[in-house]
Structure 1
Amino acid sequence: MDKVLSFHQGTLPLLISMPHAGVRLTPAVEAGLIEPARSLPDTDWHIPRLYDFAVSMGASVVSAEYSRFVIDLNRPDDDKPLYVGATTGLYPATLFDGTPLFKDGLVPSALERTDYLERIWRPYHDTLRQELARLREQFGYALLWDAHSIRSHVPHLFDGTLPDFNLGTFNGASCHPQLAEQLQAVCASAKGYSHVLNGRFKGGHITRHYGDPAKHIHAVQLELAQSTYMEEVEPFHYREDLAAPTRQVLENLLNAVVAWGKAHYAV
């Protein structure tokens, strides 16, 4: 069977999603990519490694195996745009800099893309939905953390330099406001790092679709500037000297999420 995702079931009411960490390609996508895209520059590089503490803390973790160049798991299956202005869709057509992703005449066919939707996108979202349902059934609530990263400079998508920690709660709709406040406080106490809430990145499809505070599911997206833990240019090396203090902030953030849930839902 084709492995389209990795999943670990934890013991806390916390699920961490990593939809853009995958690097596998289908034959059609691999054959069609332009040369600059073959290094997969728009990947959320090293996110599973950066969050390697999550399993030991008791979180459930789901991560993609296939590249977003095949299909973007953080877009709705009807491909409706999530952001006004430059963005990428369910089946990305460009790199983040706006360059066409595929060679002329080598874009995957509609039939191939329908297969990607059924074989790659749906199992990931089935896993999210089922695990969130299990957590809510067991604990009475569920906490979803959608883990992303991006280069700190992408002029086609945003002006200037991206803050280090970009928290997204769909303008407050995907989680309780007190949780967002506590996460901002953690970021504010992290010396040497910048942060923003609902700036350029407010949360993609996963945050918007699954976050439902009225039903006791609280979702937050973190878009992390890659300059905080890696080299942003090819070959995209992981930098432990940068990653170690950043990972500590991530641990503090996730511990704050779990602590908020326990306090908020204490009986």
Structure 2
Amino acid sequence: MHPVEIKRGNGPIILGMPHTGTFVPDDVKDKLNPRGQKLTDTDWHIDKLYNGLIDDVTIVRATFSRYVIDANRDPKGVSLYPGQNTTTLCPTTDFEGEPIYFAGEEPTDGEVKERRLHFHAPYHQAITDEIARLKQSHSNVVLYDCHSIRSELPFLFEGTLPDLNIGTNDGATCAPEIQHDAYQICARSGFSTVLNGRFKGGWTTRHYAHPAKGVHAFQMETAQSAYLTKEQAPWTYDETKANKLRPVLKELLTMMTDFCAANARNEGK
């Protein structure tokens, strides 16, 4: 299986989906314990949640599981949240802090390097290429990183996570107008919302963002309780819940599209 699926559009928005994949190579699957083989920490149905919200959008989706390698982690292994519990480039524990490998079967440095070359690198090369492609026709583009997570995970955060968690690395990854308008859209939607709370944006948003050069990055971490029937297997997509959430996400993406178009017109004056 190819590590990346790409759907090309000509609009200024790229949807990054690093954690929806469930492919695990046999040599890795054999080393995962029964807990790991459940792939519990997948961003379940995020591709379906965002499907068709806006026209002419580009989508870059990793097909491999984050348990193989996490496409939203620094390839050098540097922690996104120093001093806080998190998972690593090639996770050995899940979001509850429990081992996902049989004892002694955790990936070696050589295996981490191989996975980085075969999975992590192609995904990020695709994002790099799509940003460069769209920048040829748009002065501003937005890389919108799509994520979801269970709403209660004491190993990672206290209490219950809000429905919508906006991450811009404290405003560094996008234009102030994008952050402001995104927060306003979410805050008035009826869904609980936080800006740069526990999730400030992962490696993807921090690495690619260069607002001064017209490359804006934005992470949305959605609580799975907002669109799944239950936050447990079989991870059923709840159409009723999702149909309340999807208009909010559509408004966000439309706002970002309009921002890019307005700034293009201003620059042309």
Report the TM range for the smaller structure's normalisation.
Answer: over 0.9
Deviation at 1:78, TM superposition (A): 0.4
Matching residue within 71, 77, 82 for 1:79: 77
Deviation per CA, 1:160-180: give whole Å up to 9, x if none: 010101000011110011110
Among candidates 195, 202, 208, match of residue 197 of structure 1: 195
Q: Runs ≥4 in structure 1, deviation > 2 angstroms?
A: 108-113
Which range is displaced more, 132-141 or 88-97? 132-141
Moved more, 130-139 or 28-37: 28-37
> TM-score under structure 1 normalisation?
0.96
- Structure 1 stretch displaced more, 110-119 or 123-132: 110-119
State the TM-score, normalized to the length of structure 2.
Answer: 0.95
- Answering whether residue 200 of structure 2 is matched by residue 172 of structure 1, we say no
Q: RMSD between aligned alpha carbons?
A: 1.1
Give me the whole-angstrom Cα distance separating, in 1, the residues matched to 2:85 and 2:15: 27
Structure 1 position 29, deviation (Å): 2.0
1:140 corresponds in structure 2 to 139
**How many residues get paired?**
264
Alpha-carbon distance in structure 2 between the residues aligned to 1:200 and 1:112: 30
CA contact (8 A) 1:9 1:61 kept: yes
- Give the whole-Å Cα distance in 2 for the aligned partners of 1:236 and 1:141: 36
Match runs of 1:98-117 below 5 Å: 98-117=97-116
Q: How does 1:117-128 map to 2 (within 5 A)?
A: 117-128=116-127
1:255 paired residue number = 254
The question of whether the paired residues in 1 share the 8 Å contact of 2:138 and 2:260 is answered with: no
Question: CA separation in 1, counterparts of 2:175 and 2:153?
Answer: 30
- The one-letter code of the counterpart of 2:237 is Y
* 1:169–1:219 Cα contact (<8 Å) kept: yes
| Counterpart residue type for residue 81 of structure 1 | S
- Pair 1:51-2:50 in alignment: yes
Residue 236 of structure 1 and its aligned partner are, at CA, apart by 0.9
Q: Name 1:38's counterpart in structure 2.
A: 37
Contact persistence 1:28–1:108 (CA under 8 A): no
Deviation of 1:112 (Å): 2.8
1:223 paired residue number: 221
**Is the 8 Å Cα contact of residues 145 and 220 (structure 2) preserved in structure 1?**
yes
Alignment of 1:202-217 (within 5 A): 202-217=200-215
Query: Equivalents in 2 of 1:235, 1:78: separation in Å?
Result: 34
Give 1:60 shift. Answer: 0.2
Unaligned stretches of 5+ in structure 2?
A: none
Task: Please report how far the alpha carbon of residue 260 of structure 1 lies from its aligned counterpart in structure 2 after TM superposition.
Answer: 1.5
> Are the equivalent residues in 2 in contact too, given 1:29–1:69 (CA < 8 A)?
no
Do 2:140 and 2:263's aligned partners in 1 also have CA atoms closer than 8 Å? no
Question: Residue 237 of structure 2 corresponds to which residue in structure 1?
Answer: 238
Structure 1: stretches of 5+ with no match in the other structure = none
Paired with 1:159 and 1:216, the residues of 2 have a C-alpha distance of 36
- Which stretch shifts more, 68-77 or 2-11? 2-11
What residue number does 2:10 align with? 11
Mapped contact 1:15–1:145 kept (Cα < 8 A): yes
